[in-house]
Chain A
Amino acid sequence: MDDLYREIILDHYKNPRNFGSLESKTHEAEANNPFCGDRIRMEILFQKIKRSKDQKIQIIKDIKFSGEGCAISIASASLLTEKVKGMSQQQISSLTKEDIVVMLGIELSPTRLKCALLSLEVLQQTIQ
């Protein structure tokens, strides 16, 4: 098996997790990659929780994504939605390219990296 198309990537591509849309949502965003026509949309339900006596933060209670794209972009979105549940807005903002590369566990060419990063771009757009 080709390592780029490891079992986990193909699994998330064929059976994407958190795929669909939310009935109740607080944030949403969509972006596409004109080079390959990939399109990812994300919907998020944030929930305010008490962090300390006088500090409240927003964390992801639920998240769904939809769209179409190559195996890398869909698997990346699917894995990312699993990864970010429970994360605060602060944590989401600080996610980087490196986090996605580590999450996917594969080496990507510069062009394919764009496919992998589309979901992160959309995710961060939701809270901008």
Chain B
Amino acid sequence: MYFTPSGFPILRNKKLVYLDSAATSLKPQSVIDAINDYYSHYSANVFRGLYDISEKATLKYEETREKVAQFINAKSSSEIVFTSGTTESINLVAYAWGRLTVGEGDEIVTTVMEHHSNFVVWQALARENGGVLKVLDVDEQGKLKIKNEKGKTTYKNSKLLLQNVITKKTKLLAITHVSNVLGTINPIKEIVVEVKRLNPKCLVLVDGAQAVPHMKVDMQDLGCDYYAFSGHKMLGPTGIGVLWGRKELLNSMVPFQFGGSMIAKVSLTETTFKETPMKFEAGTPHVAGVIGLGAAVDYLQNIGMEVIRQHEIELTTYVLEKLSGLNHLTIYGSKDISIRGGVLSFNVFDKSGNLVHPHDVAEILRRENICVRVGHHCAMPLHERLGIPGSVRASLYLYNTNEDINRLVKSVQNVQKIFS
């Protein structure tokens, strides 16, 4: 295997079963070393100093921009804006584009499976600007209700039903690539084609936080307009993320924040700004974070995203099979592995059918060093839609093994024993 857990210092603790990578991923030694190397040997500011260590920091910073652009197949590295994470990336678009574009009666479309960061932002913007927020529903299998499956054998090949949703007044579709609760992989490329057919002016923003770490994503192939993701979910450090945007769009937007680095010329009466992407990176950036992200991209590319996806398909198949074998347990989302990532949310019930509160499940798992997330996973509208107060979520990544799954299943059985 390419990704023996030994590359991850935290996993030297053999007792630890880490199943919360959808919250944040573990970090390999190479990422930690890259950050350490910056702070130990060239911790200078970027774009300012004429001395060697500053030049080196700037070089490494910009090298990462190139790496990221190549990693997601952006047309140019100038389309890569460094942010603090997915949340800031989405807020940047809402502020620098949405605030000035969405008017009275204009529509923003999103989905019920969004993380709050791609939901509340648009809800607030619609409220402030007098716009209308429309929310796409999911079906019982956790798939978006946008497909007409009549007469079709697969979800993938069925026809999209968006004509009643995307209108001439729709300014934006904000949609997640992979659900952080259901694991559903949305057919973004098809959706974009249909949206643009119905309204060529409608933009599509994709929340890629749960996709980029786990599968190959290609900006030129997807056809969307904005794509946001976080470094810390893809083996990189916290506090760093990316907004990708089509260059002409980024160019047409106003700055998000004002300050150093982002200006071309300042006088007492007027200021001009640098070109994209510098226009959006005011102040001293998270240099160590960017350099760490670069090391994370290297790590992922050395393995190959197809290899990682395949590993997760195998693990997800295994965990679905194991958990499905237990009584009094409900798994949410689709069983179709081709449209599902390695995110498994479930609930445990006692023999009388009463829900065992997810916190009680997590507590018992915690005592056996199994890390899972419980609660609403920042997706309250989805949990309300599913009619549950919360769920237990096990999320997988490249360092997980079948043994991790076995221990999870054993612990869940223990929960059932205690609450029987």
Question: Which of A's residues lie within 8 Å of B, judged by CB?
Answer: 1-2, 4-5, 10, 35-38, 68-72, 109, 112, 115
With A36-B375, A37-B389 known to touch, is A70 a contact of B359 (CB < 8 Å)?
Answer: yes
* Contacts A37-B375, A70-B359, A72-B360; A2 near B418 (Cβ below 8 A): yes
Rounded to whole angstroms, the CA-CA distance of A109 and B367 in the bound complex is: 11
B374 within 8 A of partner (CB): yes
The chain B residues found within 8 Å of chain A, CB to CB, are: 357-360, 363-364, 366-367, 374-376, 389-390, 418-419
Report 30 cross-chain contacts, Cβ distance below 8 Å, ordered by A residue.
Answer: A1-B418, A2-B364, A2-B367, A2-B418, A4-B363, A4-B364, A4-B367, A5-B364, A10-B418, A10-B419, A36-B357, A36-B358, A36-B359, A36-B374, A36-B375, A36-B390, A37-B375, A37-B376, A68-B389, A69-B357, A70-B357, A70-B358, A70-B359, A70-B360, A71-B357, A71-B360, A71-B419, A109-B366, A112-B359, A112-B363
Report B-chain residues with C-beta under 8 Å of the C-beta of A2. 364, 367, 418
In angstroms, Cα B418 to Cα A71, docked, is 11
Question: A35–B360 contact, CB under 8 A?
Answer: no
Chain B, residue nearest A69 (CB): B357
* Chain B residue contacts of A70, Cβ below 8 A: 357-360, 363
Residue of B nearest to A39 (CB): B389
What are the residues of chain B within 8 A of A69 when measuring CB–CB? 357
B376 nearest CB neighbor, chain A only: A37
Give the residue name and chain of the A residue nearest to B354 (CB).
A14
CB closest residue in chain A, given B361: A70
Name which of A37, A38, A71, A112 has the most chain B CB atoms within 10 A of its CB. A37
Q: Report B-chain residues with C-beta under 8 Å of the C-beta of A35.
A: 375
Contacts of B360 in A (CB 8 A): 5, 70-72
Q: Which residues of B contact A37 (CB under 8 A)?
A: 375-376, 389-390
Q: For the complex, give the distance between the alpha carbons of A72 and B360 in Å.
A: 8
Task: Closest B residue to A115 by CB, please name it.
Answer: B359
Bound state CA distance, A1 and B363, in angstroms? Answer: 13
Rounded to whole Å, the gap between the CB of B22 and the closest CB of chain A is 17
List residues of chain B with CB within 8 A of the CB of A38: 359
Q: Once the chains are docked, how many angstroms separate the CA of A71 from the CA of B376?
A: 18
Chain A neighbourhood of B367, CB < 8 A: 2, 4
